[in-house]
Amino acid sequence: MYPAWAHTAEEVLQNFDVDPRHGLSNAEVEKRREQYGYNEFEHEPPVPLWRLVLQQFDDTLVKVLLLAAGISFALAWLEESGDDPNARLRAFMEPGVIVLILVLNAAVGVWQESNAESALEALKEMSADTAKVWRDGALVSALPCRELVPGDVVELHTGDRVPADVRLTRLHTAVLRAEQSALTGESVAVCKSAAAVCESADCELQAKECVMFGGTGVASGSATAVVHATGMSTEMGLIQRQIREAAAEDSDTPLKQMLDSFGESLARLILWVCVAVWLINWRHFLSWETRPGSAFLPDWSTVAFSLDKATFYFKVAVALAVAAIPEGLPAVITTCLALGTRKMAQRRAIV
């Protein structure tokens, strides 16, 4: 992209081959539109709801909880209720609570994931609808902003929304102020000028005092400017691209990596503890008598195995596993992150 902020207004106009009093011709506009495209953000289909829901269960700790809930459900299904009519209902209560927590966690996660789509919609809402543009020597007072191309000469006045990234060429008032807090985070309107203020082609946004960015507003003053970046090449377009790239990233965040590592370690620990608890009670469901004259060798004809007692102690091990798993941890973490994001949005720290 041409670094318009690093050159004088005359050099910028010469680079785009445009007369500020005449503007671009219709033929030149069509030629440049073929090269640069329309002045609009890229549109991608939203992620389907079912895929967002499935993504919430792609977590080690959640998978461990699903496994525990499945085992608890199977044991509750096989358990005999006896004379108590509420016994079966109580047996299904534990896996039901786990599933309910996971469903709530998935709902909060889907709501949080949808914030990225909301952020993209917010960026689109910040874009202007029409602009005042010089074309073929005439001022078009309400040209749709998507029709702009690099090199178009636009007029900006107080209250206008900047239609694209533009390089100021001439100020009509003594002071021109721009409201660009949504882009740079500056809490007050900043002064702009038509002079080249940054010699380096690579400088921070705040240093580009001769550039007004698409989506920002004119707080006071009026000026003439030339469009130097449109669509996805604008600063707002770069933000949208970064949001989409972050949403499509395959690599997990450091927090998710730590949670996955914690879940795997916890799953292994719980597995071995449950196996140990079940084996420690082996004398309750497995017994035999030793051979005459031996203190250790069993008499295989006397080996007795109780399936009911083995199942009972297996249930005890599963109950221990379910109790050791922090069922509420995924929901608590997701909720805290969502509430934190909402607080930041309310304070305008993020879009």
Q: What is the mean pLDDT of residues 136-149?
A: 90
Name the pairing type of β-strands 304-305 and 130-135.
unpaired
For residue 76, pLDDT over 60 is answered with yes
Report pLDDT digits (tens) over 48-66: 778 878 877 877 777 777 8
Q: DSSP states of 25-79 as a string?
A: -HHHHHHHHHHH--SS----PPPPHHHHHHHTT-SHHHHHHHHHHHHHHHHHHHS
Model pLDDT, residue 188:
85
Model pLDDT, residue 250:
58
Identify whether the C-beta of residue 25 lies closer than 8 Å to the C-beta of residue 136: yes
- % of the chain exceeding 90 in pLDDT: 23
250 half-sphere exposure, CB direction, 13 A CA radius: 0
Model pLDDT, residue 284:
83
Model pLDDT, residue 166:
94
Report how far residue 185's alpha carbon sits from residue 182's, in angstroms, rounded to the nearest whole number.
Answer: 6
Model pLDDT, residue 84:
65
Report pLDDT digits (tens) over 248-271: 665 667 777 787 788 788 878 888
Model pLDDT, residue 98:
77
Q: How confident is the model at residue 2 (pLDDT cuts 50, 70, 90)?
A: confident
Report how far residue 78's alpha carbon sits from residue 67's, in angstroms, rounded to the nearest whole number.
Answer: 17
Q: How confident is the model at residue 117 (pLDDT cuts 50, 70, 90)?
A: low
* The domain defined by 49-123+251-346 carries CATH number 3.30.70.260: no
Query: Which amino acid appears at position 88 of this protein?
Result: R
Model pLDDT, residue 184:
80
* The domain defined by 4-36+129-232 carries CATH number 3.40.109.10: no
Model pLDDT, residue 29:
92
Supply the angle between the helices 254-280 and 329-346 in degrees, to the nearest 10.
160
Q: What is the mean pLDDT of residues 241-250?
A: 71
Report pLDDT digits (tens) over 322-342: 777 776 676 677 677 777 877
| Lowest pLDDT segment from 90-99, 134-143, 177-186, 279-288 | 90-99
- % of the chain exceeding 70 in pLDDT: 85
For residue 351, pLDDT over 60 is answered with no
Q: What is the mean pLDDT of residues 266-289?
A: 84
Identify whether the C-beta of residue 204 lies closer than 8 Å to the C-beta of residue 185: no
Contacts 24+ apart (CB under 8 A), 186-192: 189/219, 189/220, 192/168, 192/221, 192/223
Model pLDDT, residue 169:
93
In the chain, which residues fall in CATH 1.20.1110.10?
A: 49-123+251-346
Q: What is the mean pLDDT of residues 279-296?
A: 79
Model pLDDT, residue 168:
94
Q: To the nearest whole number, what is the mean pLDDT of the chain?
A: 81
| Lowest pLDDT segment from 53-57, 119-123, 143-147 | 119-123
In the chain, which residues fall in CATH 2.70.150.10?
A: 4-36+129-232
Model pLDDT, residue 249:
65
Model pLDDT, residue 103:
84
Contact residues for 121 (Cβ-Cβ < 8 A; gap 6+): none
Q: What is the mean pLDDT of residues 142-165?
A: 92
